[in-house]
């Protein structure tokens, strides 16, 4: 990609607050973007070959949306956590094993997509995020869901296609959790906390493709209560 093309992109971005450069084979975060730290609200660099997100990212104080899907990121800089206005973060299809320790400081974050990475657990940092709506952790290498999950504020948690064989009963205490996706994991029916059915806010539980037949789920105590929530929610959106 020539310099003149990049220059044109930068000029447009200065006016619109949006910088989008996808599928161009970029191997690094464009350094010239530092001229726009006080302009940009959206950056989309998906489908490139970027291996490192520079500390400079922390300077984009107005940034609301950042997308780096399908790159080659193995880690994120702590500086990312300074983005106090960031609402949407899409990092699907990278090689991330963990999140920065200060990730819980992204206080405006609503949507987080980390599908197709190499996470081994549900990051505890997510529990500090008060405005989180949707968390996608599908297609990782998560094996268990720890007790800290009970503090998660998300409305939807997608854990499809992991290797989960254990879930903390604390998941029933998530105050806003309505949708829990656990399809294609390694769950035995005995490892699914019954309180998810009898005593939680969850009104959509997706568990197809585990180590039990779905009809067995219907025999569990608390299933009727779950179905009441499920039906009430369906009516609301009908």
88 and 132 belong to one structural domain: no
**Separation of alpha carbons 154 and 17, rounded Å:** 28
The percentage of the chain sitting over the pLDDT mark of 70, rounded to a whole number, equals: 99
* 109 domain-assigned: no
**Separation of alpha carbons 146 and 91, rounded Å:** 22
138 and 231 belong to one structural domain: yes
pLDDT in the model for residue 147: 97
pLDDT in the model for residue 225: 97
CATH number at residue 195: 3.80.10.10
**Separation of alpha carbons 18 and 43, rounded Å:** 6
65 and 149 belong to one structural domain: no
Q: Six-digit token pair at 231? A: 């039906």
Average pLDDT over residues 69-80: 98
pLDDT in the model for residue 2: 65
pLDDT in the model for residue 7: 86
Domain count, the chain: 2
Model confidence at 5: pLDDT above 90: no
Contact 73, 91 (CB under 8 A): yes
191 and 88 belong to one structural domain: no
Q: pLDDT tens, 200-227?
A: 999 999 999 999 999 999 999 999 999 9
* 36 domain-assigned: yes
pLDDT in the model for residue 127: 94
140 and 36 belong to one structural domain: no
Model confidence at 1: pLDDT above 70: no
132 and 47 belong to one structural domain: no
8 CB burial (10 A radius; 0-12, 13-18, 19+): exposed
* 41 domain-assigned: yes
pLDDT in the model for residue 21: 95
pLDDT-based confidence at residue 159 (cuts at 50, 70, 90): very high
**Separation of alpha carbons 81 and 61, rounded Å:** 11
Return the DSSP state at 204. E
pLDDT in the model for residue 3: 74
132 and 223 belong to one structural domain: yes
Average pLDDT, the chain: 96
pLDDT in the model for residue 238: 66
Domain that includes residue 39, residue range = 1-94
Q: What's the whole-model pTM score?
A: 0.96
Model confidence at 38: pLDDT above 80: yes
Three-state SS annotation for 142-172: CCEECHHHHHCCCCEEECCCCCCCEECHHHH
Contact 125, 104 (CB under 8 A): yes
Dihedral of the CA atoms 79, 80, 86, 92 (nearest 10)?
A: 180
pLDDT in the model for residue 236: 76
Average pLDDT over residues 168-183: 97
Q: pLDDT tens, 8-23?
A: 889 999 999 999 999 9
Strands 111-113, 88-90: pairing is parallel
The percentage of the chain sitting over the pLDDT mark of 90, rounded to a whole number, equals: 93
Q: Where are the beta strands (DSSP E) in the chain?
A: 18-20, 42-44, 65-67, 88-90, 111-113, 134-136, 144-145, 156-158, 166-167, 179-181, 204-206
pLDDT-based confidence at residue 237 (cuts at 50, 70, 90): confident
**Separation of alpha carbons 136 and 62, rounded Å:** 24
């Amino acid at each position: 990609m020539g310099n003149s093309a990049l220059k044109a992109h930068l000029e447009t971005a200065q006016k619109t607050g949006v910088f989008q450069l996808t599928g161009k084979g970029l191997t690094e975060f464009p350094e010239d973007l530092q001229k726009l730290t006080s302009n940009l609200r959206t950056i989309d660099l998906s489908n490139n070959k970027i291996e490192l997100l520079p500390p400079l990212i922390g300077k984009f104080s107005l940034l609301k949306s950042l997308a780096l899907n399908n790159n080659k990121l193995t880690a994120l800089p702590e500086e990312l956590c300074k983005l106090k206005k960031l609402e949407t973060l899409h990092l699907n299809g990278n090689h991330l094993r963990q999140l920065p320790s200060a990730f819980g400081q992204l206080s405006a974050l609503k949507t987080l997509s980390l599908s197709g990475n190499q996470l081994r657990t549900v990051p505890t940092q997510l529990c500090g995020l008060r405005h989180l709506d949707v968390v996608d952790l599908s297609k990782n290498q998560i094996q268990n869901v720890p007790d800290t999950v009970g503090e998660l504020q998300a409305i939807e948690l997608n854990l499809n296609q992991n290797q989960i064989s254990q879930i903390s009963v604390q998941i029933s205490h998530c105050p806003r959790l309505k949708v829990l996706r656990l399809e294609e994991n390694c769950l035995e029916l005995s490892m699914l906390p019954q309180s998810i059915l009898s005593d939680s806010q969850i009104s959509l539980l997706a568990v197809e493709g585990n180590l039990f037949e779905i009809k067995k789920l219907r025999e569990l105590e608390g299933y009727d209560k779950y179905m009441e929530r499920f039906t009430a929610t369906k009516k609301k959106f009908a």
